Amino acid sequence: MPKIVDHEARRRHIADALLRIASREGLDAVSLREVAAEAGVSMGMVQHYFATKDQMLMFAMIQLNARIGERVATAMDAPSPRAFLRAAILELLPLDDERRSEARIGLAFLARSVVADEPADLLRQALPYVIGFYAEQIRAAQELGQVRADLDAGIEAVILYTMAQGLVNPALIGHLSPEEVVATVDYHLDRLFLTSG
Amino acid sequence: MPKIVDHEARRRHIADALLRIASREGLDAVSLREVAAEAGVSMGMVQHYFATKDQMLMFAMIQLNARIGERVATAMDAPSPRAFLRAAILELLPLDDERRSEARIGLAFLARSVVADEPADLLRQALPYVIGFYAEQIRAAQELGQVRADLDAGIEAVILYTMAQGLVNPALIGHLSPEEVVATVDYHLDRLFLTSG
């Protein structure tokens, strides 16, 4: 009987190895040899599933974003657009070990995307989705009278997204404590929303 | 007569080579061999001046920050704290080829700093200076009645800094045009300042 191989599981297993290395030592340390050793498979097996380091990285980023997306989805029954938006933003920030690891990899991916075409393409596809989701929550709040109608939901969404991304590095290197990160987000949401809950 | 060697100029020459490679292909591509080839010197010469890649990177980042600092200083005679702050922020953003190149390297350095101790130390020293400078301008504006007295200058400075850093990637990958980047900064400054000039 032929052996049944779950190719998707193998790809995920290899991508997880890449994520662990990137989180620990940065993308610099990610090589065919390192990934194979970390995953406990042969270099040939890694090459069988991924033609290039960027392809492996992109597969890993899609996995990682799906994980974050699942966590955000659990906040969908939040009592207000503000609470939902806050939960979604905090899921991206390095406030515990899991999110610290994700944020380190995310930052490496952002840096890679400004010198490599395929990661840039992936981000150009993902950004309108994330920023659009923020804008949607702000518009919903405007309709409920919870955000001033004269604010530009699209630009406010860009500011929220960029502020969150910009908080990642100062939080990871310890310039800001997790409490200061959360206080900064809440300070800004206080300005944006007419309601506190 | 012994040959006079300008060691500082040689270090700068080598660091410039690193900056060119990092801007073009990312930090991944920076190796002893690549830097030596780009600088047109021997690998031994590179090693003579820099013991590690991170030391070379840090020297290069200090050079690059000094260059940005000099440009910001030329805006010192701006007509208001708002104008000075705006000029300082826009110097960090990828609005032309020079700043695009700097921003790519800056992003690579941010990513490196979350997995390597020495770059993290350098950033922990630099951040209070940059964010403190922003806070100073906001406090000066508060004293002039140009920013509401009840705003927290320290947190506003963090938000300005993080927003600016977060704008770098979307601008570099073309999700935001230079005009949209400037409009986002101005939109936020409009909210912060009671004066438009």
CATH number where B102 lies? 1.10.357.10
pLDDT higher than 90, residue B109: yes
A90 assigned to some structural domain: yes
- Do B26 and A111 make contact, defined as CB atoms within 8 angstroms? yes
The alpha-carbon gap from B151 to the nearest alpha carbon of chain A, in Å, equals: 10
B197 assigned to some structural domain: no
- Do A111 and B24 make contact, defined as CB atoms within 8 angstroms? no
Q: How confident is the model at residue B3 (pLDDT cuts 50, 70, 90)?
A: confident
Judged on CB neighbours under 10 Å (0-12, 13-18, 19+), A10 is middle
Instruction: Yes or no: say if B163 and B134 are a contact pair by the CB < 8 Å rule.
Output: no
Give the per-residue pLDDT at B197: 79
Q: How confident is the model at residue B123 (pLDDT cuts 50, 70, 90)?
A: very high
pLDDT higher than 90, residue B53: no
Structural domain for A50, as ranges? 7-192
In terms of CA atoms, which chain A residue is nearest residue B24? A115
> For B124-151, what is the mean pLDDT?
96
DSSP state of A95: -
**Least CB-CB distance to A124: which of B23, B174, B184?**
B174
**Chain A contact present for B169, CB below 8 A:** yes
The alpha-carbon gap from B118 to the nearest alpha carbon of chain A, in Å, equals: 11
A105 assigned to some structural domain: yes
Give the per-residue pLDDT at B4: 77
The alpha-carbon gap from A2 to the nearest alpha carbon of chain B, in Å, equals: 41
Give how far Cα A123 sits from Cα of A62, A127, B172, Å.
10, 6, 11
A1 assigned to some structural domain: no
Domain count for chain A: 1
Q: How confident is the model at residue B81 (pLDDT cuts 50, 70, 90)?
A: very high
Phi/psi region, residue B174 (left: phi>0; alpha: psi -120 to 50; beta: rest), is left
Give the per-residue pLDDT at A163: 98
B132 assigned to some structural domain: yes
A197 assigned to some structural domain: no
* Helical segments of chain B, H only: 7-25, 32-39, 43-49, 53-73, 81-92, 97-113, 117-143, 153-172, 178-192
pLDDT higher than 80, residue A3: no
- Do B162 and A158 make contact, defined as CB atoms within 8 angstroms? no
User: 74-113 in A: which are within 8 Å (CB) of B?
Assistant: 103-104, 107-108, 110-113
The tens digit of pLDDT for each residue in A34-75 reads 999 999 999 999 999 999 888 988 998 999 999 999 999 998
B96 assigned to some structural domain: yes
In terms of CA atoms, which chain A residue is nearest residue B25? A115
Which pair of tokens denotes residue B78? 């701006």
pLDDT higher than 70, residue B32: yes
Q: Does ipTM come in above 0.85?
A: yes
- Chain centre to alpha carbon of residue B115: 19
A2 assigned to some structural domain: no
- Do A26 and B111 make contact, defined as CB atoms within 8 angstroms? yes
